[in-house]
């Protein structure tokens, strides 16, 4: 699927459907909406949050691929922006770090996610956590307003990643930084997987090569780039066989092509 607007519409529809499901349902389906890859445990992407301060079980939809807030070096009083904030769990974890003196803003393009996150924030009594409807390629925030940007398995869904990282650069204060967890590739995926809309919404086909991903960040102007964490994602055969035949699956494994979860850090230079 090469039409950016169609991709965004599809992802928005998929994640609107996710709001009405349980965490268990979301993790057992490759696209989160239950319309593909049923009965496959997709929790292989996610990391456990329940040991982190600020964790809100009701806001954890099991859709992440890392723990970016654990690596983000958030300080008390910081303004933190979470891109693709979903039901709000990463925002609530970030709020535990920035405290009542800071501010956390979640950006999401799905109205139902925003409404759900706002309900969780009201229930928790957090007056300094805000949720804003918006597109990551055109973030509806002012220039140089954030100390820290985080994101969890969302930027890979954005069609124009260069534009997304340019927006991250724009909203960060000089000397500010980001820590994002995302899905990247080593070696090209088979065309059948790359073109599958369901896999795109499930965080696989929207991913790009790790080297390209890091190049985009460098070219945007960020400094001190480093991969904070990396883990290989071993997709189960029963999932891949929805898109590959037995011969193609064997070839895919032998060629050492891979899907990886990475947590990446970089800083905006001081002026």
> What's the pTM value of the predicted model, to 2 decimals?
0.83
Name the DSSP letter for residue 138: B
d(CA 239, CA 29): 10
Domain limits, the chain: 4-243+261-266
Sheet holding 223-233, edge to edge: 129-133, 103-108, 79-83, 146-152, 172-186, 258-267, 223-233
Percent of the chain with pLDDT over 70: 78
Give φ, ψ of 226 to 5 degrees: -155, 150
Q: How confident is the model at residue 78 (pLDDT cuts 50, 70, 90)?
A: very high
Tell me the mean pLDDT in the region 110-117. Answer: 93
Confidence check: pLDDT of 10 > 80: no
Reported as a single tens digit per residue, the pLDDT across 144-189 is: 999 999 999 889 888 899 999 999 999 999 999 999 999 898 887 7
CATH superfamily of 4-243+261-266: Vaccinia Virus protein VP39 (3.40.50.150)
Q: What is the structure's pLDDT at 129?
A: 98
Burial class (CB in 10 A: 0-12, 13-18, 19+), 235: buried
Q: Are 61 and 86 in contact (CB under 8 A)?
A: yes
């Amino acid at each position: 699927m090469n039409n950016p607007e169609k991709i965004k519409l599809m992802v928005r529809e998929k994640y609107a459907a996710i709001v009405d499901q349980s965490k268990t349902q979301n993790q057992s389906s490759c696209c989160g909406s239950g319309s593909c890859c049923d009965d496959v445990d997709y929790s292989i992407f996610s990391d456990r949050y329940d040991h982190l301060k600020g964790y809100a079980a009701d806001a954890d939809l099991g859709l992440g691929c890392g723990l970016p807030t654990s690596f983000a070096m958030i300080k008390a009083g910081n303004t933190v922006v979470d891109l693709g904030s979903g039901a709000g769990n990463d925002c609530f974890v970030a709020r535990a770090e920035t405290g009542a003196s800071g501010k956390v803003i979640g950006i999401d393009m799905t109205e139902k996610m925003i409404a759900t996150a706002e309900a969780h924030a009201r229930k928790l009594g957090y007056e300094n956590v805000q949720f804003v409807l918006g597109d990551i390629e055109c973030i509806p925030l002012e220039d140089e307003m954030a100390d820290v940007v985080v994101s969890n398995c969302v930027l890979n869904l954005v069609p124009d990643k260069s534009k997304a990282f340019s927006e991250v650069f724009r909203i960060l204060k000089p000397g500010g930084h980001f820590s994002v967890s995302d899905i990247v590739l080593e070696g090209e995926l088979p065309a059948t997987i790359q073109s599958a809309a369901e896999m795109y919404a499930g965080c696989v086909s929207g991913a790009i090569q790790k080297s390209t991903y890091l190049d985009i960040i460098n070219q945007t102007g960020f400094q001190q780039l480093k991969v904070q964490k990396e883990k290989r994602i071993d997709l189960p055969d029963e999932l891949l066989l929805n898109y590959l035949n037995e011969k193609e699956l064997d070839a895919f494994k032998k060629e050492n092509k891979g899907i990886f979860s990475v947590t990446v850090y970089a800083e905006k230079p001081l002026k």
